[in-house]
Amino acid sequence: VPTALDGKDLESRCSCFMAPPVTPLEGLRSPDMKSRMELLIMETQAEVCRALAEVDGGASFIVDRWQREEGGGGISCVLQDGKVFEKAGVNVSVVHGFLSEESIRQMKSRGKSLKTKDGKLPFSAMGVSSVIHPKNPHVPTIHFNYRYFEIEEADGNKQWWFGGGTDLTPTYLNQEDIVHFHQTLKEACDQHSPTFYPKFKKWCDDYFFIKHRGESRGVGGIFFDDLDSPSKEELFKFVQSCAKAVVPCYVPIVEKHKNDSFTPEEKLWQQLRRGRYVEFNLVYDRGTKFGLATPGSRIESILMSLPLTARWEYMYTPPANSKEGEILKVLREPKDWVH
């Protein structure tokens, strides 16, 4: 059973963060899940930003700490136009207030039963969310997001759940990289339940599907939402393992390819794939939709996920036997990468 942190421990944990946490320190000493999750997402943000800045070598993260008028705030860290990364954003947000009607509709549509009071529903949400777009087309884009949600229903009943995932979007297929990525995630999952990886791998393939294109956004990873069993404690530990896996699943791939040479044609194909990334995020992504529908949300932090540049060509179809055709085939028929 976790106990309250003493002031000194807490201060030392916070000293490595990118900025002071959204919640004032005295509020974070309680051992409740909201405090523990806020500390975890702040730690994850700092760990990932430091690892990426080191790999990049050319630029560092700018840090924006912002308040939300309706309650809460966040810390957005962005590295733009680095040596390795075109645009890398790692965002923490800790918000509370009342859910928008649109968000209630979205949650109900995925099967939640929510008892509102005069249509109002107080919520608390926190998470770390990141999209990293590299310059080199041989280095894949990564996205991850880990979040915790609490809702208080009209009768005082509290609902809570965890959500999250990590997924990879390469421009070109490199089997070895993808296996490393999935293997690292699988190991994080397997520490908690042998059912997690297969289940969340499939969930990821289903979720990151661009329906109107008949293609996945990338080569998957893991994704889950609305998780509330076996227990808050078990799930927190699982989320912690997933968050710890971000750097080891991705940074070695970046190191391996960051100096690969590439042609203008390869850069062009990357830009077209970035267009698909934009399509998924603006048309389907649940987090983006939730953000756009939440009054007072910080739009620049939500749309940080969009690439620096993207391209749409009418009827561009690569030949089936090209390297471009090779990745498309996998995006159209998701594969199992590890067993």
Which candidate, 216, 220, 335, 323, places its Cα nearest to that of 270? 323
Q: How far apart are CA 225 and CA 240, in angstroms?
A: 15
Catalytic residue among 133, 138, 143, 257: 143
35 phi-psi bin (left φ>0, alpha ψ -120 to 50, beta other): alpha
Q: Binding of its own copies at residue 320 (CB under 8 A)?
A: no
CB 170 within 8 A of CB 326: no
Instruction: Using the rule CB under 8 A, give the single segment among 18-26, 184-192, 205-213, 246-254 that binds its own copies.
Output: 205-213
Question: Per CB under 8 A, which of residues 211..250 are in contact with its own copies?
Answer: 211-213
Identify the residue among 14, 278, 328, 338 touching its own copies (CB under 8 A). Answer: 278
List residues bridging with 131 in a β-sheet: 89, 143
Q: State the number of binding residues for its own copies (CB under 8 A).
A: 31
Question: Per CB under 8 A, which of residues 77..136 are in contact with its own copies?
Answer: 78, 80, 87, 89
Identify the residue among 282, 287, 318, 323 touching its own copies (CB under 8 A). Answer: 282
Q: Binding of its own copies at residue 303 (CB under 8 A)?
A: yes
Find the shortest distance in angstroms from Cβ 5 to its own copies: 33
CB 300 within 8 A of CB 76: yes
**Three-state DSSP class for 211?**
helix
What is the distance of C-alpha 45 from the center of its chain?
Answer: 11
What is the SS3 string spanning 108-163? HHCCCCCCCECCECEEEEEEEEEEEEECCCCCCEEEEEEEEEEEECCCCCEEEEEE
Q: Binding of its own copies at residue 310 (CB under 8 A)?
A: yes
Identify the residue among 195, 308, 325, 335 touching its own copies (CB under 8 A). Answer: 308
Of the pair 23, 294, the CB lying nearest its own copies is at 294
Looking from the CA of 79 toward its CB, the CA atoms found within 13 Å total: 29
Instruction: Using the rule CB under 8 A, give the single segment among 73-81, 96-104, 143-151, 165-173 that binds its own copies.
Output: 73-81
CB 238 within 8 A of CB 230: no
Of the pair 9, 265, the CB lying nearest its own copies is at 265
- The string of DSSP codes covering 266-280 is HHHHHHHHHHHHHHH
Question: Per CB under 8 A, which of residues 169..198 are in contact with its own copies?
Answer: none
Instruction: Using the rule CB under 8 A, give the single segment among 39-47, 114-122, 181-189, 272-280 that binds its own copies.
Output: 272-280
Identify the residue among 314, 319, 333, 339 touching its own copies (CB under 8 A). Answer: 314
Of the pair 103, 159, the CB lying nearest its own copies is at 103
Instruction: Using the rule CB under 8 A, give the single segment among 21-29, 92-100, 209-217, 252-260 that binds its own copies.
Output: 209-217
Of the pair 73, 275, the CB lying nearest its own copies is at 275
Q: Binding of its own copies at residue 59 (CB under 8 A)?
A: no
**Three-state DSSP class for 334?**
coil
Of the pair 175, 309, the CB lying nearest its own copies is at 309
CB 96 within 8 A of CB 123: yes
Of the pair 51, 303, the CB lying nearest its own copies is at 303
- For residue 223, count CB atoms less than 10 angstroms from its CB and return exposed for 0-12, middle for 13-18, buried for 19 or more: buried
CB 250 within 8 A of CB 257: no
Of the pair 38, 215, the CB lying nearest its own copies is at 215
Q: Is 182 a catalytic residue?
A: no
Q: Binding of its own copies at residue 306 (CB under 8 A)?
A: yes
Catalog residues that contact its own copies under the rule CB under 8 A.
64, 76, 78, 80, 87, 89, 211-213, 271, 275, 278-279, 282-283, 292, 299-300, 302-304, 306-315
Residues with catalytic roles: 143
